């Protein structure tokens, strides 16, 4: 008789590195490059360096590099978009350092678009008072810059890139991060020991049924930090891009292509199904109003059954058409001719202003841990991100994180006792996928563009039910020999579920409307609540305990009355 023995996982130990950087977007690669010649291991769960949201960015980088522009003007625009929650000193730092860093990048040969005279072309986007957006390859800025950075990383001997490596959790001993446990497609479970770890894992767009984010935007860094007890900030503020393309042929829940903000900067208009332009009645800046205003206006037309369309026919017929090859290709792939018809659009989760709370050097509340890029909450975005400030933030704070780490003394190495997690076998893949889909629908419907107390309470209750279902799968899981797909599927569900509960809790606790956070039951901004909100995993657990106590009391009362 054949005896089936459970797989006994082995945790291999990778060669020591000075710094672990998790994530290969703008922030992660800039950090790694800036740290040279320090020994850096860069982990990414994607098969190559060109994964993540940076490569998807159609918008450019905003910075005051034009002759008529100033960092102070850029700072004012950023503060206005942030709806009273942006941290003024950090915004000043972003816009001042940003102009300098972008000039350095231009001087080093980054492939930015230029006019026939060789001057950098400057575009304008919503809520910017000046033309200050630089692009590369028109509306393919992220792809061009990401490749340029990836080429530089590949040519830097001090950086070891580990692709197809899913960072599972931070290793913390005596109040300090000491490394990362990751699963590698080739090597399996691996301990990466390092005295310094940088989270540059991107955002959490896959929390929502409709999103512009790539498949890997699953809140991994946010969840890892939360489990380690790190302080988080501003989680309720999720920006929905107003104009994601509605592709009738796309699978349900698939990432939605965005139609860049720059189109409206060049004169594109929003119309309803009758062809009537509606943003002129919503805001003095019409189509150039802040993103949350535009997104809610579009959402209302869709709820009312009027439809919402982006009309870019004038752009496609004019000299600007050459600047938007990606948009043209996306529309045609979805079966639309942008030169002849308006394009159907809908709001989709795009950028998370909240994340791991950091100071202006990217330090978190956990010693040895830094964060930069979308996973970090630096305070610059406040309640709503100004268009094209995200790549800028990754660039500026990638530099600042690297410089801060380089100035640190290296602590003595520690002996670590690490257990390997159990991952459910492939035979429950369909159940995991179904739970993930349920979570995404829940978040889009109850914690999306329009929120209210009853919906948020219902969402918190549903999160509790989802957590119990996840626990049931976890209890049944044995130590099998997982594949990378198994680990990613399970790990991403755990991360999304935790991040979703935290975002919902933060939204329930902010009883006002501000920026991207809109409460139907509290439609006005309140001066008394116009402060940033910080929380930890302990806050979520206390709320869950209070809910459970309330349920027990209700059940007891019902039993006594019976």
Does residue 480 carry a pLDDT above 80? Answer: no
Question: Of 267, 245, 208, 103, nearest to 437 (Cα)?
Answer: 208
Do 438 and 335 belong to one domain?
no
Do 432 and 340 belong to one domain?
no
Residue 518 lies inside a defined structural domain of this protein: yes
Q: How far is CA 97 from CA 93, 94, 169, 401, in A?
A: 6, 5, 32, 13
Q: Are 180 and 16 in contact (CB under 8 A)?
A: no
Do 538 and 450 belong to one domain?
yes
Residue 476's pLDDT band, with cuts at 50, 70 and 90, is: confident
Residue 10's pLDDT band, with cuts at 50, 70 and 90, is: low
Residue 526 lies inside a defined structural domain of this protein: yes
Direct distance between the N- and C-terminal alpha carbons of the chain, in angstroms, rounded to an integer? 56
Task: Tell me the pLDDT tens digit for each residue of 131-161.
Answer: 999 999 887 888 899 999 999 999 999 999 9
Average pLDDT of the chain is: 91
Report the distance separating Cα 126 and Cα 293, nearest Å: 11
Residue-level pLDDT at 550: 53
What is the three-class DSSP state of 181?
strand
Residue 217 lies inside a defined structural domain of this protein: no
Task: Point out the domain boundary residue: 348, 382, 409.
Answer: 348
Does residue 440 carry a pLDDT above 90? Answer: yes
Task: Point out the domain boundary residue: 348, 375, 401.
Answer: 348
Q: Are 162 and 323 in contact (CB under 8 A)?
A: no
Q: Are 61 and 133 in contact (CB under 8 A)?
A: yes
- Tokens at 560, concatenated: 């006594």
Across the range 288-298, mean pLDDT stands at 88
Question: Of 320, 365, 316, nearest to 342 (Cα)?
Answer: 316
- Number of domains observed in the structure of the chain: 2
Residue-level pLDDT at 4: 38
Measured at the CA of 296, the angle between CA 291 and CA 300, to 5 degrees, comes to 150
Residue-level pLDDT at 301: 95
Residue 475 lies inside a defined structural domain of this protein: yes
Residue 432 lies inside a defined structural domain of this protein: yes
Across the range 151-177, mean pLDDT stands at 96
Task: Point out the domain boundary residue: 322, 348, 374.
Answer: 348
Do 344 and 436 belong to one domain?
no
Residue 291 designated active-site: yes
CATH code of 296's domain: 3.90.700.10
Across the range 525-547, mean pLDDT stands at 85
Residue-level pLDDT at 555: 46
Does residue 171 carry a pLDDT above 90? Answer: yes
Does residue 549 carry a pLDDT above 60? Answer: no
Do 445 and 333 belong to one domain?
no
Do 458 and 555 belong to one domain?
yes
Residue 305 lies inside a defined structural domain of this protein: yes
Do 436 and 525 belong to one domain?
yes
DSSP assignment of 57-86? --S-EE---STT--HHHHHHHHHHHTTT-S
CATH code of 533's domain: 1.20.58.100
Residue 5's pLDDT band, with cuts at 50, 70 and 90, is: very low
Task: Tell me the pLDDT tens digit for each residue of 346-396.
Answer: 999 999 999 999 999 999 999 999 999 999 999 999 999 998 999 999 999
Across the range 46-50, mean pLDDT stands at 86
Residue 329 lies inside a defined structural domain of this protein: yes
Do 342 and 451 belong to one domain?
no
Task: Tell me the pLDDT tens digit for each residue of 54-77.
Answer: 877 777 899 999 999 999 999 999
Q: Are 233 and 383 in contact (CB under 8 A)?
A: no
Ranking 8-12, 46-50, 473-477 by mean pLDDT, the lowest is 8-12
Percent of the chain with pLDDT over 90: 77
Q: How far is CA 483 from CA 121, 189, 216, 218, 492, in A?
A: 47, 10, 17, 19, 14
Residue-level pLDDT at 73: 97
Residue-level pLDDT at 548: 57
Across the range 405-432, mean pLDDT stands at 87
Residue-level pLDDT at 387: 87
Report the distance separating Cα 66 and Cα 122, nearest Å: 8
Q: Which domain holds residue 314?
A: 244-348
Residue 377 lies inside a defined structural domain of this protein: no
291, 440, 510, 519: which one is catalytic? 291
Residue-level pLDDT at 417: 78
Residue 253's pLDDT band, with cuts at 50, 70 and 90, is: confident
């Amino acid at each position: 008789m054949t005896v089936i023995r459970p797989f006994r996982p082995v945790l291999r130990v990778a060669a020591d590195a000075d710094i672990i950087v998790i994530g290969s977007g703008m922030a992660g690669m800039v950090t790694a490059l800036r740290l040279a010649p320090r020994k850096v291991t860069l982990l990414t769960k994607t098969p190559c360096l060109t994964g993540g949201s940076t490569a998807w960015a159609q918008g450019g980088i905003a910075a005051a590099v034009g002759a008529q522009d100033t960092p102070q003007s850029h700072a004012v625009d950023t503060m206005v978009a942030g709806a009273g929650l942006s941290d003024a000193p950090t915004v000043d730092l972003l816009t001042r350092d940003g102009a300098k860093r972008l000039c350095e990048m231009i001087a080093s040969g980054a492939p930015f678009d230029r006019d026939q005279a060789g001057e950098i072309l400057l575009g304008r986007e919503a809520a910017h008072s000046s033309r200050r957006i630089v692009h590369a390859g028109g509306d393919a800025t992220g792809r061009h810059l990401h490749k340029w950075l990836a080429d530089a990383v590949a040519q830097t001997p001090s950086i070891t890139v580990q692709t197809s490596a899913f960072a599972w959790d931070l290793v913390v001993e005596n109040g300090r991060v000491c490394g990362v446990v990751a699963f590698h497609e080739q090597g399996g479970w691996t301990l990466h020991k390092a005295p310094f770890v940088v989270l540059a894992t991107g955002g959490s767009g896959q929390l929502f049924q409709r999103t512009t984010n790539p498949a890997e935007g699953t809140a991994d860094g946010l969840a890892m930090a939360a489990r380690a007890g790190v302080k988080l900030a501003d989680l309720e503020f999720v920006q929905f891009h107003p104009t994601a393309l509605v592709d009738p042929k796309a699978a349900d829940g698939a990432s939605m292509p965005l139609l860049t903000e720059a189109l409206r900067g060049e004169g594109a208009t929003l119309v309803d199904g009758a062809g009537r332009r509606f943003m002129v009645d919503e805001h003095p800046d019409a189509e150039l109003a802040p993103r949350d205003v535009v997104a809610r206006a579009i959402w209302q037309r869709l709820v009312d059954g009027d439809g919402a369309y982006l009309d870019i026919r004038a752009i496609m017929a004019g000299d600007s058409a050459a600047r938007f090859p990606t948009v043209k290709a996306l529309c045609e792939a979805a079966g639309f001719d942008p030169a002849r018809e308006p394009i159907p659009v809908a709001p989709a989760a795009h950028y998370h202003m909240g994340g791991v709370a950091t100071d202006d050097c990217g330090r978190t509340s956990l010693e040895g841990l830094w964060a930069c890029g979308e996973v970090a909450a630096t305070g610059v975005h406040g309640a709503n991100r100004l268009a094209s400030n995200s790549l800028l933030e990754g660039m500026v704070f990638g530099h600042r994180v690297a410089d801060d780490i380089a100035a640190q003394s290296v602590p003595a190495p520690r002996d670590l006792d690490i257990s390997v997690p159990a991952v459910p076998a492939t035979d429950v893949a369909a159940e995991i996928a179904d739970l993930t889909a349920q979570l995404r629908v829940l978040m889009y419907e109850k914690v999306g563009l329009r929120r209210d107390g009853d919906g948020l309470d219902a969402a918190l209750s549903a999160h509790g039910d989802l957590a119990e279902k996840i626990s049931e799968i976890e209890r049944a899981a044995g130590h099998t020999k997982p594949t990378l797909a198994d680990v990613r599927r399970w790990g991403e569900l755990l991360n999304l579920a935790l991040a979703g509960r935290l975002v919902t809790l933060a939204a329930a606790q902010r009883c006002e409307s501000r920026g991207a956070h809109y409460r139907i039951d509290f439609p006005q901004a309140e001066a008394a609540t116009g402060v940033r909100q910080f929380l930890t995993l302990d806050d979520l657990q206390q709320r869950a305990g209070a809910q459970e106590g309330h349920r027990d009391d209700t059940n007891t009362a019902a039993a006594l009355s019976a």
